[in-house]
Amino acid sequence: MAKKLNRREFIKIAGMGAGGLAVGSSFLKPVSLFGQPLSKEKLLTSTFSEVTPTYCEICFWKCAGWVHKKEGKPWKIVGNPDDAHSNGRFCPRGTGGLGAYTDPDRLKTPLIRVEERGKQVFREASWDEAFDYITDKMNRIKEKYGPECMALFTHGSGGGYFKNLIRAYGSNNIAAPSYAQCRGPRAEAYLLTYGEGVGSPERTDIENTKCLVLIGSHIGENMHNGQVQEFTKAHMNGATVITVDPRFSTAASKSKYWLPIKPSTDLALLLAWINVIIEEELYDKEYVKKYTYGFDALKKAVKHNTPEWAYPITTIKPHVIRETAREMAAAAPAVIIHPGRHVTWYGDDTQRVRAGAILNALLGSWGRRGGFYAPSKAHVPKPKHPAYPKPSKGWRDAFPDKYPLANLALSSGICDATIPSTTDACSIKGWIVYGTNLIQTLPQPEKTIKAIQNLELLVAIDIMPSEITGWADVVLPECTYLERYDDLRISQGRVPSIALRAPAFEPRYNTKPAYWMAVQLAGRLGLSAYFPYERIEDYLEYRLKAVGSSLEEMKKLGVKNLPLEQELYFLNGEEYEFATPSGKIELYSETLAENGFDPIPVYTAHEEPEDGYYRLLYGRAPMHSFGRTTNNPLLYELKSENEVWINPKVAREWAIKTGDYIRLENQDKVVSNKIKVKVTERIRHDCVYMVHGFGHGQKQMRRSYKRGADDARLISRVNVDPIMGGTGMRVNFVTFRKEVA
C-alpha cells in the first residue's frame, strides 16, 4: 500500500467535508442532522466516519463524548457539546482514551494462579474455568466462615454490578479507596456542618464566583474537566484566586495571592481567617443568624487564633492573612473556600475541611450564587429484585469501636481486618477487587500484601495487569469502556442529566464486560434473581423507559438533560432546614461533641521532619489518572515518568541538579525506585513533591514498569483520622540517596 498516497487521499477526502457525521454544535438538535433523520443504518453504512456515544472512564469525572471511527477503524474521541461535565471538550486523558483500547499490554484472557501468591505464575483459563474456581471458593467461604467474610473493593463504572452481587451473596463489606484514602473527610465534614455532602462533580459555583480559595487543590493539574473550565472562566472574569500551597502550582500561578504555607499547618490559617472574619465583623450577619448554630461558641473558641498567632505556625504574614480574609468578605457571598477532593493528609482532616466549611457558612456562600449551588440529580429507577439477605456482621464490625462517624466502609479498615488478630470480630477471607490497584491506592503496601497472604480467594477484575492482578488467584480481564455498554451515568449538577455508554468496538482479545461477568457469577452462585436482565441492553432499556427515553434515543443523543427539580440557590429570606441535629448549619457540631471530638476545630501541631529530611507531598498531573494511565501509549508520551521537585537551596546542599536520578529514602528506611530531579523555585525548602501513580512494579506494563517512583511505597506510615478513619498520608519524610545503581 502506498502510504504517502494514502495520506494525500485522506486530506482530499476530508476536504470534501459533507461526508462525515460531524459532531459539533449542529449536533445539539439530535433528531435530525443536516435535515435528515439519523438512523442506525446510516451510521453503519457510512464508510467515512461513525460515531458512538460514550462517557469517559479514564477518570471519575465521566465526561460524555463521541467515539469516532474512520473506515471502520478507531480514530478519535471528542466531547459531547450537550454535556455539562465537558461542554464538548475532553481533557487530555479523555482525548487519549483510545490508548486504553490499543494498549498491547492489556489483560487478554482469564488467568488462574498456579504457583504461590505474588510469584505471578498463572495459566490461561477459559471463562467457565475461572467462574467455576471463584464459585467454588465463594461457596466454601460462605459455608465455613459466613458470607460476611467476603469483601469487595471497587472503583469505576462496573463496580455497581459486583456490589449487587456481593450484597446478594450476603455481605456489605464493600469499600472504595476513594473514601478512606481520598475524599471521606470532606464528605463527613460537610455532612456534619450542612447535613449534606459536596458530591461529584462538586456543587461549587466556580464559574460565578468572585473569590476562590484553594487549599492544596491544584486545579489544572488535577484535570477535573468541568471544574478546570469554570476555574479559567472565573479567573478570566477577574475573580480573586487565593491559593494556599507549599508549591507554586499551576493554579497558584493564576492566583492573585499565593500563600506558600508551611505544610501541615493549613488548619491554623483557616482558624486565623475565621478569627479575622469574626473580629472584624466581616461575616454575613443575617445569614449567620438565620441559618447557623453555635456562633457564640465559635467566636469564643477562635478568639486566640489571631493572625499573629498563626504567623509562626504557618509562616504566612499577619497582614497577608488579614488582607486575604478581607478579599473573601468583599466577594461574599460569591466566595468559595474550596472543600478539596483528596483531603486525607494529616489525620485531622475532617476537622480541617470542617474549618473551611465553617468559613463558607460565615461568608454565607452555601446556597448562594458564586458559592455553593444546590445540585439536582436525575431519579432513574432500577429494576426490582429480591431483598438482600441481612448480614450478621457488617463493615463496622471490621473495626469495632473505632471511627464512629464513618459513613462508608474503610478500604484500609477491611484490609486490616483481613490480617487475623485476637481483637477483631470479623476476619475477611475473600476479596473481589474491581478496577482498583490496591497496592498503589492503599498506603502501606507491605500491610496490604500481608493481608493478601491470609486470603482464601482473591479475584482481580481489571483491564490492565497491575500490581494487584499479580497477587490474585484469578484474574478476569475486562474489556475497555470503548468496547462495552455500562450502566447509565446519572450525575448531579446544575442540570440533572443521564448519559449512555455504548460499545464503539468489539472487545479485543478474550475480554468481557463486567456486567456479563457479574451475571455469569450470579448464575453459578444461585443469585440470578438479583439480575433480572441477563443482557445489559434490556436492563438499560428498562431504566431509560422509566424516564421517557430509550436506548435508540440515547444512541443518538449521548446525553439527555432532564428538567431541573429545585432552585440552584437559596431564595431570599426563605427558611431552610438542614439535615443536622439542630436543623441549622452547625458551626458547633453536637454530633462531634457527643462522640468525644472537638465540636469546633482546634489546631494541633504535627510532627516535623528532622534535619536532612523533607515532607513528602504528592499530587496529580493533568495527563494521568493515578497509576491507571501511565502505560496508556498516548498518555505515556505526554508524561512517561514523574520527577521529584526540590527547592534550589536544598539541591545545592545536596549537590543535586535537575536531570539527576536519585532515590528517596523515608523515615522507615523504605527506599524508592530511582526518580528524576527537578530543581525548582516552585517549592518550599521543607518538602518535596512528586506526581502519584508512577514507578509501577508490574513488569507486564512494559512502558511504565519502573519508570519514575511510587509515592505509595514511601507512605509506610499514616495518621488515621479518629472521626472517620481516613488515612492521612502526608506524614512521611524522605531524604536523598544519590547512588542509583
Q: Which three cell numbers stand for residue 630?
A: 501511565
**Does 372 engage in binding with other proteins (CB under 8 A)?**
no
- Choose which of 236, 571, 579, 741 interacts with other proteins (CB under 8 A): 236
Closest CB to other proteins among 77 and 475?
Answer: 77
Q: Are 496 and 513 in contact (CB under 8 A)?
A: no
Q: Are 668 and 718 in contact (CB under 8 A)?
A: no
- Measuring CA to CA, which residue among 460, 467, 473, 464 is closest to residue 434? 460
Separation between Cα atoms, residue 448 and residue 153, nearest integer Å: 13
**Does 244 engage in binding with other proteins (CB under 8 A)?**
no
Chain positions 633 to 672 lying near other proteins, rule: CB under 8 A, are: 633-635, 637-639, 647-648
**Does 568 engage in binding with other proteins (CB under 8 A)?**
no
CB of 11 to other proteins, least distance (A): 5
Closest CB to other proteins among 170 and 622?
Answer: 622
Q: Which three cell numbers stand for residue 470?
A: 499479580
- Choose which of 24, 548, 563, 596 interacts with other proteins (CB under 8 A): 24
CB of 12 to other proteins, least distance (A): 9
CB of 220 to other proteins, least distance (A): 3
**Does 58 engage in binding with other proteins (CB under 8 A)?**
no
**Does 698 engage in binding with other proteins (CB under 8 A)?**
no
**Does 733 engage in binding with other proteins (CB under 8 A)?**
no
Closest CB to other proteins among 180 and 701?
Answer: 701
**Does 720 engage in binding with other proteins (CB under 8 A)?**
no
**Does 424 engage in binding with other proteins (CB under 8 A)?**
no
Q: Which three cell numbers stand for residue 147?
A: 458470607
Q: Parallel, antiparallel, or unpaired: how do β-strands 49-55 and 64-70 relate?
A: antiparallel
**Does 480 engage in binding with other proteins (CB under 8 A)?**
no
CB of 228 to other proteins, least distance (A): 6
CB of 282 to other proteins, least distance (A): 26
CB of 127 to other proteins, least distance (A): 32
Chain positions 163 to 202 lying near other proteins, rule: CB under 8 A, are: none
- Measuring CA to CA, which residue among 466, 501, 461 is closest to residue 478? 461
- Choose which of 623, 687, 690, 712 interacts with other proteins (CB under 8 A): 623
CB of 253 to other proteins, least distance (A): 4
Chain positions 249 to 288 lying near other proteins, rule: CB under 8 A, are: 250, 253-254, 258, 260
Closest CB to other proteins among 163 and 624?
Answer: 624
Separation between Cα atoms, residue 457 and residue 206, nearest integer Å: 46
**Does 14 engage in binding with other proteins (CB under 8 A)?**
yes
C-alpha atoms less than 13 angstroms from C-alpha of 224 in its C-beta half-sphere? 17
- Choose which of 91, 337, 378, 714 interacts with other proteins (CB under 8 A): 91
- Measuring CA to CA, which residue among 579, 576, 380 is closest to residue 497? 380
**369 C-beta neighbours (distance < 10 Å), count:** 16
Q: Which three cell numbers stand for residue 343?
A: 483531603
**Does 362 engage in binding with other proteins (CB under 8 A)?**
no
- Choose which of 51, 66, 80, 96 interacts with other proteins (CB under 8 A): 96
For 130-167, give the DSSP string.
HHHHHHHHHHHHHHHH-GGGEEEEE-STTHHHHHHHHH
Q: Are 241 and 251 in contact (CB under 8 A)?
A: yes
Count of H helices and E strands in the chain?
27, 30
Separation between Cα atoms, residue 177 and residue 413, nearest integer Å: 10
Chain positions 312 to 351 lying near other proteins, rule: CB under 8 A, are: none
- Choose which of 120, 135, 139, 680 interacts with other proteins (CB under 8 A): 680
Q: Are 508 and 479 in contact (CB under 8 A)?
A: yes
Separation between Cα atoms, residue 72 and residue 51, nearest integer Å: 10
Cβ contacts of residue 533 below 8 Å, gap of 6+? 383, 539, 542
Find the helix or strand (DSSP H, E) in which 36 lies: strand 36-37
Closest CB to other proteins among 471 and 481?
Answer: 481
Separation between Cα atoms, residue 659 and residue 609, nearest integer Å: 25
Backbone angles phi, psi at 171, to 5 degrees: -130, 145
**Does 3 engage in binding with other proteins (CB under 8 A)?**
yes
Say how many residues touch other proteins, by CB under 8 A. 55
Closest CB to other proteins among 209 and 305?
Answer: 209
Separation between Cα atoms, residue 16 and residue 20, nearest integer Å: 9
Separation between Cα atoms, residue 701 and residue 699, nearest integer Å: 5
Q: Are 262 and 683 in contact (CB under 8 A)?
A: no
Closest CB to other proteins among 7 and 144?
Answer: 7
**Does 84 engage in binding with other proteins (CB under 8 A)?**
no
In this structure, which amino acid lies at residue 211? C
Give the distance from CA 678 to its chain's centroid. Answer: 27
Find the helix or strand (DSSP H, E) in which 51 lies: strand 49-55
Chain positions 97 to 116 lying near other proteins, rule: CB under 8 A, are: 98
Separation between Cα atoms, residue 338 and residue 330, nearest integer Å: 17
Give the alpha-carbon dihedral of 710, 713, 714, 719, to 10 degrees. Answer: 120
Closest CB to other proteins among 599 and 622?
Answer: 622
**Does 740 engage in binding with other proteins (CB under 8 A)?**
no
- Choose which of 232, 427, 582, 700 interacts with other proteins (CB under 8 A): 232
Residue span 580-619 as binding mask against other proteins, x where in contact by CB under 8 A, dash where not: ----------------------------------------
**Does 238 engage in binding with other proteins (CB under 8 A)?**
no
CB of 69 to other proteins, least distance (A): 12
Closest CB to other proteins among 95 and 631?
Answer: 95
- Choose which of 4, 384, 390, 669 interacts with other proteins (CB under 8 A): 4
CB of 310 to other proteins, least distance (A): 17
Separation between Cα atoms, residue 206 and residue 111, nearest integer Å: 46
Closest CB to other proteins among 219 and 343?
Answer: 219
Q: Are 728 and 719 in contact (CB under 8 A)?
A: yes
Separation between Cα atoms, residue 371 and residue 324, nearest integer Å: 17
CB of 659 to other proteins, least distance (A): 15
Closest CB to other proteins among 10 and 509?
Answer: 10
Q: Which three cell numbers stand for residue 359?
A: 468559613
- Choose which of 206, 228, 414, 729 interacts with other proteins (CB under 8 A): 228
Burial class (CB in 10 A: 0-12, 13-18, 19+), 385: middle
Chain residues in the site for other proteins (CB under 8 A): 3-5, 7-8, 10-11, 14-15, 17, 22, 24, 75-79, 86, 89-92, 95-96, 98, 220-221, 223, 225, 228-229, 232, 235-236, 248, 250, 253-254, 258, 260, 622-623, 633-635, 637-639, 647-648, 680-684
